């Protein structure tokens, strides 16, 4: 059941119920944060929807313009100005997946506070990055795009069905510098390291998401938090091992519980005995305008080292968001590092180069596919494209690398929707523009259309890339009759614009 379905079916929690469920945090008010009533009131209010624009496909002002055409008010989030795209706040009930621009990979929906951790990772192109708990991948995509969609990001998760959702988002956003892996992050193979940056966006009791999922109010409590804490410590401990000396780890949760936040960080700092440093989160330089609070240093009789105040807490009533916790850690330059990993061997079959030449010729691409991408056959189904310099390790074996772009096990072989969206903006042949909104939406509903002779004048019968106002939507077959058969997938990364 989705969070939206849950919200419709379950009775909303009242402020009194919220206050009772969260009463154990009351002693923090007046110490690290103020305004208990404001905190409870904020949690009882619905949360604005937040999306970010894909920096490689559309700028924020243009995306806001598309929303304005639909009569949807969109306001930029000022403290997210350094995110690769532009973060826009939309009304709470707004469903991005129902809109064509989402299906075309021009934007991604991600709660505003959830966008913070990658912004504190000090990311730069060329870094090798691990996202240890990555699904469904909003932060992975932010990291990947902050690296310029080049180089090597590993995105790991423990839940196979969540890796499928993660891959769906990466396909829709045309992210080509990520390999996904399926492993218990607490036991992640050391053979994969070392990494310059690691994100541990840990599984947690999710109290900070109560505004989206009020039924959680009946599940949270100290026992649940204690249970999560041992897994969180194992994840953070592993991240320290996998990080290169001098590298950075960001640990984050969306919960208020100190047991899952400062106490986890304090335990790992103590274990590392000076080889790991908690850094002050660079809020004023990276997140100007964000109202944040310090980490908790006294909790239920335990006093933590004062440096734990360097952790960052975002309380829901401070910026009208969900709740979040972030710790930025640096591994000592003289700490022990791991040897460089063995690289995964590239798999290709003799015909594969010809498939790529065929795609480039059919669609009149300005340069050969292999000039810009690493091409790989990951299964009998067909070919994947990854960034030319993407270098996944041999272990753990990736579930997938880059995007699946060309299906070769069908007759005739076909460009996939992800392939069309990735390559279609620069295609010069076999491109058919569906600029009328009704035609665009019919294509997304997988309907067969009859374009005008003028629309199809530049195409001959066969496969075509369909575009809307220059943005590629996917693939269709133009029949000799003049009918255009949509090949838009029935399931496409949470998109329902096709009905």
Ligand X SMILES: C[S@@+](CC[C@H](N)C(=O)[O-])C[C@H]1O[C@@H](n2cnc3c(N)ncnc32)[C@H](O)[C@@H]1O
Q: Is 135 in the site for ligand X (CB under 6 A)?
A: yes
From 96, 105, 136, 472, residue interacting with ligand X (rule: CB under 6 A): 136
Nearest distance from C-beta of residue 240 to ligand X, angstroms: 15
Stretches 178-186, 275-283, 404-412, 437-445: which one binds ligand X (CB under 6 A)? 178-186
Q: Indicate whether 325 belongs to the interface with ligand X (CB under 6 A).
A: no
> Which residues from 86-115 bind ligand X, rule CB under 6 A?
114
- Under the criterion CB under 6 A, does residue 137 sit at the interface with ligand X? yes
Is position 185 an interface residue for ligand X (rule: CB under 6 A)? yes
CB hemisphere CA count around 387 (13 angstroms): 21
- The total number of residues shown for the chain amounts to 499
Q: Which of 168, 194, 203, 419 binds ligand X (CB under 6 A)?
A: 203
Among 39, 100, 158, 373, binds ligand X (CB under 6 A): 158
Q: Which is nearer to ligand X, 134 or 359 (CB)?
A: 134
Contact pattern for ligand X over residues 217 through 256, marking x by CB under 6 A: --------------x-------------------------
User: Is the Cα torsion angle 283, 287, 291, 293 positive or negative in sign?
Assistant: negative
Nearer to ligand X, 139 or 468 (CB): 139
**Annotated active-site residue in 103, 254, 356, 495:** 254
State the minimum distance, in angstroms, from the CB of residue 205 to ligand X. 11
Chain centre to alpha carbon of residue 379: 25
- CA-closest candidate to residue 63, choices 114, 111, 117, 99: 99
**Range 134-171 burial, b when 16+ CB lie within 10 A, else e:** bbbbbbbbbbbbbbbbbbbbbbbbbeeebbbbbbbbbb
Closest distance between ligand X and the C-beta of residue 157, in Å?
Answer: 5
186 lies in the binding site for ligand X (CB under 6 A) = yes
Q: Which residues pair with 448 in a beta bridge?
A: 485
What separation in angstroms does the CA of 331 have from each of 146, 230, 268, 309, 351?
22, 21, 12, 18, 46
Report the alpha-carbon distance of residue 392 to residue 346 in Å, rounded.
10
Piece of the chain touching ligand X by CB under 6 A; list 14-22, 152-160, 301-309, 331-339: 152-160
165 binds ligand X (CB under 6 A): no
254 given a catalytic annotation: yes
Is 139 a residue that touches ligand X (CB under 6 A)? yes
Instruction: Give the three-state DSSP class for 302.
Output: strand
- The two structure tokens encoding residue 54: 């894909």
3-state secondary structure of 128: strand
CB of 435 to ligand X, least distance (A): 34
Distance separating the N- and C-terminal Cα atoms of the chain: 19
Closer Cβ to ligand X, 151 or 203, answer by number:
203
**CA-closest candidate to residue 488, choices 262, 479, 499:** 499
For ligand X, the closer CB: 184 or 433: 184
Query: Does residue number 307 form part of the binding site for ligand X (CB under 6 A)?
Result: no
Of 232 and 486, the one with the shorter C-beta distance to ligand X is: 232
User: Does the footprint of ligand X cover residue 138 (CB under 6 A)?
Assistant: yes
Contacts of 323 (CB under 8 A, 6+ apart): 113, 207, 208, 209, 210, 254, 255, 256, 313, 314, 315, 316
Pick from 34, 35, 184, 370 the residue near ligand X by CB under 6 A: 184
Neighbours of 305 (CB within 10 A): 12
Closest distance between ligand X and the C-beta of residue 46, in Å? 21
Other beta carbons within 10 Å of 289: 12
* 207 sits near ligand X (criterion: CB under 6 A): no
Catalytic sites, residue numbers: 254
- The residues binding ligand X (CB under 6 A) are 114, 133-139, 156-159, 162, 184-186, 201, 203, 231
């Amino acid at each position: 059941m989705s969070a939206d379905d849950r919200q419709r079916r379950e009775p909303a929690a009242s402020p009194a119920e919220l206050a009772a469920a969260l009463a154990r945090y009351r002693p923090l008010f007046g110490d690290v944060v103020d305004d208990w009533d404001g905190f409870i009131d904020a949690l009882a209010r619905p949360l604005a929807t937040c999306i970010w624009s894909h920096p490689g496909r559309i700028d924020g002002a243009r995306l806001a313009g598309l929303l304005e055409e639909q009569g949807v008010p969109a306001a930029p989030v000022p403290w997210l100005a350094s995110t690769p795209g532009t973060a826009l706040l939309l009304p709470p009930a707004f469903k991005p997946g129902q809109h064509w621009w989402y299906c075309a990979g021009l934007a991604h929906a991600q709660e505003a506070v959830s966008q913070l951790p990658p912004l504190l990772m000090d990311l730069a192109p060329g870094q090798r990055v691990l996202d240890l708990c990555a699904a469904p991948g909003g932060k992975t995509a932010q990291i990947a795009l902050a690296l310029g969609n080049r180089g090597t990001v590993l995105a790991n998760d423990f839940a196979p069905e969540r890796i499928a959702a993660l891959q769906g988002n990466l396909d829709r956003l045309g992210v080509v510098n990520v390999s996904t892996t399926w492993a218990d992050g607490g036991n992640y193979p050391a053979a994969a390291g070392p990494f310059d940056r690691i994100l541990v966006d840990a599984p947690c009791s999710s109290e900070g998401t109560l505004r989206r999922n009020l039924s959680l109010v009946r599940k949270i409590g100290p026992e649940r938090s204690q249970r999560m804490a041992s897994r969180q410590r194992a994840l953070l401990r592993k991240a320290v091992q996998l990080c290169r000396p001098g590298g950075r780890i960001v640990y984050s949760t969306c919960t208020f519980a100190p047991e899952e936040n400062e106490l986890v960080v304090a335990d790992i700092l103590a274990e590392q005995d000076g080889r790991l440093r908690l850094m002050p989160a660079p809020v004023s330089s990276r997140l100007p305008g964000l109202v944040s609070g310090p980490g908790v240093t006294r909790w239920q009789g335990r006093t933590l080292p004062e440096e734990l105040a360097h952790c960052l807490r975002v309380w829901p009533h401070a910026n009208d968001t969900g709740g979040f916790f972030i710790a930025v850690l640096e591994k000592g330059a003289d700490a022990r590092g791991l040897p460089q990993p063995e690289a995964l061997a590239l798999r290709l079959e003799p015909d594969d180069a010809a498939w790529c030449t065929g795609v480039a010729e059919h669609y009149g691409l300005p340069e050969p596919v292999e000039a810009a991408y690493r091409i790989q056959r990951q299964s009998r189904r067909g070919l994947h494209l990854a960034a030319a310099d993407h270098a996944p390790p041999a272990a753990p074996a990736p579930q997938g690398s880059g995007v699946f772009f060309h299906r070769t096990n069908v007759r005739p072989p076909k460009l996939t929707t992800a392939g069309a969206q990735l390559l279609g903006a620069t295609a010069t042949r076999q491109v058919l523009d569906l600029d009328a909104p009704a035609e665009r939406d019919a294509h997304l509903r997988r309907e067969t259309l009859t374009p005008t002779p003028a629309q199809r004048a530049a195409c001959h019968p066969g496969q075509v890339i369909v575009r809307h106002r220059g943005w590629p939507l996917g693939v269709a077959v133009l029949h000799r009759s003049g009918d255009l058969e949509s090949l838009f997938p029935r399931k496409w990364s949470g998109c329902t614009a096709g009905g």
